[in-house]
Amino acid sequence: MEQLGALGALAEAFDLDDSLLSDDPPRTVGAWVDWVIYAHSKGDGRMTVATSGSTGSPRPCVHDIADLIDEAAFLATQFTGRRRVVAMVPAHHLYGIIWTALLPDALGVPVVARAIGAPLGLTAGDLVIAVPEQWQALLRITPRFPKDVIGVSSAGPLDESVATGLLAAGLTRLVDVYGSSETSGIAMRNVPASGYDLLPRWQLSTHDDEDWRLVDRHGRFWDFPDHIERISSRTLRPLGRRDGAVQIGGHNVWPGRVADTLRTVDGVADVAIRLNGHGRLKAFVVPKPDYDLAQLSAHIEQLMVARLANYECPKSFRFGPALPRNAMGKLEDWA
């Protein structure tokens, strides 16, 4: 059963079919790799990665492998002089595929996997690939980075105070990458610049009265995951998700869906959900009159375990008689 699952996952990810198989099913990792390489020997293959939909179900995103290799080849020109890639992200998501598999191959450098909680062993010439939450943790546990270490962040907004602190702690350069599972890399910036420069594959195109879309080298149009501000013909600034999602640990999370889920708890009159300053969700809960808060908290915890992924669960709760609103009646933030 495990072999069948592996074969199916490979076929889906690398656009394979059984006509490419021999009479004997592949039974080793080497045979699976041979299957993938043979299928893509002509250089016109595709790769499928998954992203979360608005209900949390996976949604396939198909990419031409030639486009991904071209992206890695361009990135290699931007990071010459690197001796290693230090991977802190998994390679089964597109960020990891580009930066910890294709880019090291283009640079001709080795990859080492590291995790926070163990010694990183960073040395001069390292290119560290991480997500914003990992960079925030690294800032707290790393008093000083070695010389000539470059950091890369993606899969969510990078807090400016964290970015500033990392540079003050000795990072030679910090690159913030803007992209999505649907598009791969779109643009990147060198912190502290606020504008993101488009990767060579993309051009900006007007769309629907001052809105913008992407055009690739084949003339295909792509929607931005965010509303954007055009700074120049090749520079932009993301302004916020179009679908209301936020990024938590590289996952798309919809605060509205989380709020709707918590409103089903017996004893909850209303809920507001926001992203807190530590990259996780927080909740403001309005209990129904005379409802015991300890009992309500227990009910909320039980429901979260049953119906929400860990990264969707709010990590802080505040209870009050009404949602916090300003003088105009609009929902406002809370401590």
Q: What is the pTM for the complete model shown?
A: 0.74
How large is the average pLDDT for residues 214-239? 89
Distance (Å, whole) CA 17 – CA 308: 35
pLDDT tens digit string along 241-251? 776 778 787 67
pLDDT tens digit string along 268-312? 999 999 988 777 899 999 999 988 999 999 999 999 999 998 989
What single-letter DSSP state applies at residue 123? -
Instruction: Write the CA distances from 328 to 250, 251, 286, integer angstroms.
Output: 35, 33, 20
pLDDT tens digit string along 157-172? 888 999 999 999 999 9
pLDDT tens digit string along 138-163? 999 998 999 999 999 998 888 899 99
Distance (Å, whole) CA 132 – CA 301: 27
Measured in whole angstroms, how far is the alpha carbon of residue 128 from the centre of its chain? 16
Q: Are 231 and 195 in contact (CB under 8 A)?
A: yes
Distance (Å, whole) CA 183 – CA 257: 24
Distance (Å, whole) CA 47 – CA 201: 18
Q: Are 6 and 36 in contact (CB under 8 A)?
A: no
